[in-house]
Amino acid sequence: MNSDGQDEQRVVWAVVGTDIGPLLLAATPDGLVNVVFHATDAVRDKALERLAARLGTQPVEAPGSPLLAESIRQVTAYFAGERRDFELPLDWSLISGFNRQVLRELAAGVPYGGVVGYGDLARRVGQPGAAQAVGVAMGSNPLPVVVPCHRVVESDGGIGGFGGGLETKRRLLALEGVLPEPLF
């Protein structure tokens, strides 16, 4: 317990409405730990079960928690077009090794409105033949939107895959000005 009587291993969560649907945001005292797309009740419950198993503590719904306040503010500002960069403490404990290395490079090196190819990102982390492994890293990203895996595209100009669905990827890239806004 800390001086406020709070469990140091606490995981708090809230669901935030966005232009791409509800996002579940979860945080620990170390920072934002998870962002989950399409956070309907069923998706949310499954994500919370996974978090509890991975982090060893039951997540607590706490939309007013100081651990989430800045994440909620910045995500809301991003979708309102008022923020281009996230400046949040991140808890990387749900990912390790090569995947963490790739995601950290992505977060630091691919700015708002930019894109990078899977192979280019592999080269940036010193693994030039690992484009497919970069794709796996993108699929295992526990912090989508904030760690912008939507900015990773195919070298031939294709949009590539996306755990949140291709329509979600298109909408995020349109928000950032990379793609035109959909007509309908």
Residue partners of 169: CB distance under 8 A and separation at least 6 = 150, 159, 160, 162
Phi/psi at 76 (5° precision): -60, -45
What span, in angstroms and rounded, lies between the C-alpha atoms of 106 and 86? 13
Quote the DSSP letter at residue 82: S
Catalytic residues: 149
* Angle, vertex CA 27, rays to CA 20 and CA 30, nearest 5: 135
